[in-house]
Structure 1
Amino acid sequence: MREIVFDTETTGLSFAGGDRMVEIGCVEMLNRCETGRHFHAYYHPQRDMPAEAFAVHGLSAAFLADKPCFHDAVEDLIDFIGDAPLIAHNASFDFSFLNGELGRCGRPIVHLSRMVDTLQIARSRHPGAKHSLDALCSRFGIDRSHRVLHGALLDAQLLAQVYVELTGGRQIGLGLVSDVAAAMPAMAATRAPVVVRPPRVFPPSEGELAAHAAFMSKIDHPIWDLDRGA
């Protein structure tokens, strides 16, 4: 099954309140394994960058000044995500900005039935624990030492590893057994025939039998003679 893990960076907390998406990072997964394909883009927000948001992700208005507006580059994103389920941490936030931007430029929004929220999964699996992305990386031993500021692609890559752990961990790879089993008929068709040789019999010589009998006679009270001795 193809899935997309994604994360966004924004100018603030509310698309309806005038904030905009400035970065998106997407990681493709197939049967819970990263394929190596990803999508990453920056967008001009057409507004200022609040200091609070800049402190989180470090994306300044000057850096974004030459980046395309979302409506000018939306097709590449739509092509990449396709109709796959979309996985995010606190997914309602990321969906509100993704669908806000899509709706703003007249494109169909992503139906919420495709939304997978790793925050909800983490809360159900580990109630009472901390559920931030940093906390989950620490819980599962995922290296996040290079995460100084928030970054959409980096966070999506970390979340992809967290998602695998939340949904079965590395044992999910055992599902590959079914793929191997399905391939067995084709493998058998191309395999060279196995030639079974008849067994070679090497009976003991008279001398070997005599030597064995002499050795066995030296054993006191052998267990195979207990019944006879009784």
Structure 2
Amino acid sequence: MLILGLDFETTGLDATENRVIEIGAVVWDTDRRRPVQLFSELIKPEPHIQLPPEITEVTGITQEDIDRFGEDGVAAFSRLQDLVSQCDYVVAHNVSFDRSFYENELMRCGFVADPSKPWIDTLYDLPFSNRVSSRKLTHVAADYGVFNPYSHRALFDVITMLQLLSQFDFDEVLVRQKSPNVEVVSHVTYDEREEAKKMGFRWDAGRRIWVKSMKACDANPGVFPFDISVHELN
């Protein structure tokens, strides 16, 4: 099976306000566990959009890089759409981020995303062991012996993600991909809060609850030493 690993570097976190500055995409053969086609482009947004210094600090990409090597977004996203059409799944680490930028950039280019194309999210769809303390890509990949030499450069992040994916049975990943994403609320007292923290729950100060996002197939009440409630995410 062919899948497309995808990652974007952007000018910020809001897909409606910020822009993609780098595309990294890899057509990956799940049977051979090897890349088939690599695609990497710096993207030059409109002239009035300048690269924030904090993005340069994170990615190492400079405004000079964009000005000198950045490609036209329409041409780049047209090529990306062609790659997406040839693959059975799109794969990203934190799909909600990359998919929102993908769809917004396509609209700006006059294209339309295929709503029927399924996405795999390596943040949730991989059956990580309990020893994983962080699901940040660089950290969880290192836990499985995969090291990223250039974190926050799109192509390197994609290759790291796909090498991580290849540590698992792909059929099991597809089963998990079909399981809904849910929010689990832990019903703990103040004195019990450390138990929730140890199991990956975070404190939502606005709602004053301990919550954790996960797959429905993992939200088994018997796994937790406290009462929980489960709510499906849209």
TM-score (structure 2 length as normaliser): 0.64
Separation in 2, partners of 1:112, 1:13: 25
Separation in 1, partners of 2:53, 2:110: 30
User: In the alignment, is residue 28 of structure 1 matched against residue 50 of structure 2?
Assistant: no
How many Å apart are 1:44 and its aligned residue? Answer: 0.5
Aligned to 2:57: 55
Residue 65 of structure 2 aligns to which amino acid in structure 1? Answer: F
Aligned to 2:38: 38
Residue 61 of structure 1 aligns to which amino acid in structure 2? Answer: Q
Change (3 A) 1:29 1:72: closer
Partner SS for 1:120:
coil
2:136 to 122, 132, 137: 132
Separation in 2, partners of 1:125, 1:92: 20
Aligned to 2:218: none
Change (3 A) 1:8 1:167: farther
How many Å apart are 1:56 and its aligned residue? Answer: 1.1
Aligned to 2:113: 109
Change (3 A) 1:8 1:112: farther
After TM superposition, the structure 1 = structure 2 runs for residues 197-208 of structure 1, keeping only pairs within 5 Å, are none
- Higher Cα Rg: structure 1 or 2? 1
Partner SS for 2:25:
strand
Separation in 1, partners of 2:86, 2:112: 12
Change (3 A) 1:48 1:2: same
TM-score (structure 1 length as normaliser): 0.65
How many Å apart are 1:126 and its aligned residue? Answer: 3.8
User: In the alignment, is residue 70 of structure 1 matched against residue 73 of structure 2?
Assistant: yes
Residue 156 of structure 1 aligns to which amino acid in structure 2? Answer: V
Residue by residue, what CA displacement relative to the aligned partner does 1:62-106 show, whole Å, maximum 9, x if unpaired?
Answer: 211142231243322222222421101011101111111001111
Residue 35 of structure 2 aligns to which amino acid in structure 1? Answer: T
Aligned to 1:193: none
Residue by residue, what CA displacement relative to the aligned partner does 1:209-230 show, whole Å, maximum 9, x if unpaired?
Answer: xxxxxxxxxxxxxxxxxxxxxx
Change (3 A) 1:13 1:167: farther
How many Å apart are 1:112 and its aligned residue? Answer: 6.5
How many Å apart are 1:113 and its aligned residue? Answer: 4.7
Partner SS for 1:104:
helix
Residue 39 of structure 2 aligns to which amino acid in structure 1? Answer: F
Structure holding more helix per residue = 1
After TM superposition, the structure 1 = structure 2 runs for residues 52-201 of structure 1, keeping only pairs within 5 Å, are 52-66=54-68, 67-84=70-87, 85-111=89-115, 113-122=117-126, 125-126=128-129, 129-144=133-148, 146-147=149-150, 149-167=151-169
- Number of matched residues? 165
| Identity across matched positions, percent | 27
How many Å apart are 1:54 and its aligned residue? Answer: 1.4
Partner SS for 1:62:
helix
Residue 136 of structure 2 aligns to which amino acid in structure 1? Answer: S
The answer to which of 85-94 and 104-113 deviates more is 104-113
Separation in 2, partners of 1:48, 1:133: 27
Aligned to 1:6: 6
- The runs of 4+ residues in structure 1 deviating greater than 6 Å are none
Structure holding more strand per residue = 2
Separation in 2, partners of 1:156, 1:91: 13
Separation in 2, partners of 1:100, 1:167: 32
